[in-house]
Structure 1
Amino acid sequence: MTQTPKLAWKGVTKRFGDRAVLDGLDLSVAPGRSLVIIGGSGQGKSVTIKTALGLMRPEGGQIELDGENIVGLPESKRRKLFSRIGVLFQGAALFDSLSIWENVAFRLLNADGVPRKQARERAIDALEQVRLDPAVADRFPSELSGGMQKRAGLARAVVAQPEILFFDEPTTGLDPITAAAINQLISDQVRRLGSTAVSITHDLASAQTIGDEIAMLHGGKIVWRGPAADLHVTDNPYVRQFVEGRPDGPIAHAV
């Protein structure tokens, strides 16, 4: 019996003017698996995630969650859907005017109606899960380093124990040691929760740490997909050029 994917893009198209950023995209991820999408700048990686989150509506195709098409859902059903999803945004995207624990508990307080005392307790527990001392709970984002802010953003993503996690360039702007620590934390949290994860990144070390599988997006389509361990051994010309950082190959480079 074939397993229903947790999340699937089926023939998804998304255009900006005359340019098809997603051109009949077919992609799926099984329950409990971690899929990383790689590809050059402007190839549609962020758009892929935004269509799944309902932040952008595709012109064609279906996006299915547990086999149900979620494109064009009414607002009430979208809100219910979002309660099953956690997101770590690029740059952490913390609210400057809120304390760290209020940032982490933002959804608990504002969407789930969790009382402040209970929300704070859950936020502190989530902070400890990403190896942040509870003492940071009452600080503000400006008082934390970039790596600590990213950890707080990860705590916010996992605090409600979501079924699906999205990670948008999780190591951008971090030094290699901090990036490696964030990658390991992401991997640990995905395994702890048993969540399905979809990540986008330019960082190949990150891709291989947090991904069970890697898919390469180019020209609005998936041009290669395979186990993370195969990234450096596949002879796919798109992957080889991307991994080796060569200007010559099937990927045209922008100047």
Structure 2
Amino acid sequence: MTDVTPKLAWKGVTKRFDGRAVLDGLDLSVAPGKSLVIIGGSGQGKSVTIKTAMGLMRPEAGKIELDGKNVVGLSENARRKLFSRIGVLFQGAALFDSLTIWENVAFRLLNADGVGRSEAKARAVEALDQVRLAPSVADRFPSELSGGMQKRAGLARAIVAQPEILFFDEPTTGLDPITAAAINQLISDQVRRLGSTAVSITHDLASAQTIGDEIAMLHDGKIIWRGPAADLHTTDNPYVRQFVEGRAEGPIAHAV
């Protein structure tokens, strides 16, 4: 049986800040069409992991491969092409206040892909419908929407170009439990509809289990556990057990 080439892989990736290795020889991969969620405490390198994959940070060592090809150190033109294959839902949605919702959703279509405004708006409205926002929302501004609606608009922007890879950065931060559950389900539905590969980072364990096929725990710059989402609450890994149970005492506390 032939091994499937990972859609995305970090191989021996090291990234330092002020001499401290935030990523310390990180090895991690995601198969095509699968959803991986990275969990871990604050400051353990979750955001840095996805920023290196997006080309926003360059590691000091190691490779980051997309479809088996190293993307570290790409030229500006090649990096732009890489971005065209990626969709991102940022923490807090990160909408532009001065743009209407449809202009936010269609931002890449308008500014990078050269799509005309009429077609771009139609595609934006279609994407809004996919996240259960009415067409009437399209001409409103972010300040007129609730936090949950802004998050849905951010999700619409992430999926509008039907990307191969989706990144989700703390997708439920600041949302109440009911709204968070709705966003989690929308994310899960859209990843499956598009057949995209997804990488998410979150502190929300309910979110992790809804979004992820697999969950990996990052600690001290390395993956210390990985398994099916269903195993999160049954593994005997002491780091995972402490994190899931929210205990102050344990190997994580001792390592700080």
**1:234 correspondence with 2:246:** no
Corresponding residue of 1:170: 171
Unaligned 5+ segments in structure 2 are: none
Corresponding residue of 2:198: 197
**SS where residue 9 of structure 1 aligns?**
strand
Could you report, residue by residue, the CA deviation over 1:25-68 in whole angstroms, capped at 9, with x for unpaired residues? 00000000000000000000000000001111000000000000
In the TM superposition, 1:59-208 aligns within 5 A as 59-208=60-209
- Preserved contact between residue 132 and residue 151 of structure 1 (Cα < 8 Å): yes
Provide the rounded CA distance (Å) in 1 between the counterparts of 2:255 and 2:180. Answer: 27
In the TM superposition, 1:208-223 aligns within 5 A as 208-223=209-224
- What amino acid sits opposite 1:165 in the alignment? L
Provide the rounded CA distance (Å) in 2 between the counterparts of 1:204 and 1:37. Answer: 10
Provide the rounded CA distance (Å) in 1 between the counterparts of 2:154 and 2:33. Answer: 21
Could you report, residue by residue, the CA deviation over 1:79-123 in whole angstroms, capped at 9, with x for unpaired residues? 001100000000000000000000000000000000000000000
Count how many residue pairs are aligned between Structure 1 and Structure 2: 255
**1:53 correspondence with 2:58:** no
Provide the rounded CA distance (Å) in 2 between the counterparts of 1:213 and 1:53. Answer: 21
- Preserved contact between residue 21 and residue 44 of structure 1 (Cα < 8 Å): yes
- Preserved contact between residue 43 and residue 217 of structure 1 (Cα < 8 Å): yes
- What amino acid sits opposite 1:14 in the alignment? K
Provide the rounded CA distance (Å) in 2 between the counterparts of 1:253 and 1:147. Answer: 37
Could you report, residue by residue, the CA deviation over 1:110-154 in whole angstroms, capped at 9, with x for unpaired residues? 000000000000000000000001100000000000000000000
Provide the rounded CA distance (Å) in 1 between the counterparts of 2:113 and 2:201. Answer: 28
Deviation at 1:252, TM superposition (A): 2.0
- What amino acid sits opposite 2:154 in the alignment? G
Corresponding residue of 1:5: 6
Provide the rounded CA distance (Å) in 2 between the counterparts of 1:18 and 1:96. Answer: 37
- Preserved contact between residue 62 and residue 69 of structure 1 (Cα < 8 Å): yes
Provide the rounded CA distance (Å) in 2 between the counterparts of 1:208 and 1:175. Answer: 17
Provide the rounded CA distance (Å) in 2 between the counterparts of 1:252 and 1:235. Answer: 17
**SS where residue 127 of structure 2 aligns?**
helix
Provide the rounded CA distance (Å) in 2 between the counterparts of 1:130 and 1:22. Answer: 34
**1:20 correspondence with 2:27:** no
Deviation at 1:76, TM superposition (A): 0.4
- What amino acid sits opposite 2:223 in the alignment? I
Deviation at 1:254, TM superposition (A): 9.8
Cα separation, partners in 2 of 1:244 and 1:151, compared to 1, 3 Å = same
- Preserved contact between residue 7 and residue 29 of structure 1 (Cα < 8 Å): yes
Provide the rounded CA distance (Å) in 1 between the counterparts of 2:49 and 2:87. Answer: 16
Deviation at 1:18, TM superposition (A): 1.9
- What amino acid sits opposite 1:130 in the alignment? V
Provide the rounded CA distance (Å) in 2 between the counterparts of 1:201 and 1:96. Answer: 25
Provide the rounded CA distance (Å) in 1 between the counterparts of 2:4 and 2:104. Answer: 36
- What amino acid sits opposite 1:8 in the alignment? A
Deviation at 1:17, TM superposition (A): 1.1
Provide the rounded CA distance (Å) in 2 between the counterparts of 1:106 and 1:97. Answer: 12
Provide the rounded CA distance (Å) in 2 between the counterparts of 1:30 and 1:253. Answer: 34
Percent identity between matched residues is: 88
Unaligned 5+ segments in structure 1 are: none
- What amino acid sits opposite 1:149 in the alignment? Q
In the TM superposition, 1:32-47 aligns within 5 A as 32-47=33-48
Could you report, residue by residue, the CA deviation over 1:194-221 in whole angstroms, capped at 9, with x for unpaired residues? 0000000000000000000000000000
TM-score, structure 2 normalization: 0.99
- Preserved contact between residue 247 and residue 253 of structure 1 (Cα < 8 Å): no
Deviation at 1:253, TM superposition (A): 7.2
Corresponding residue of 2:32: 31
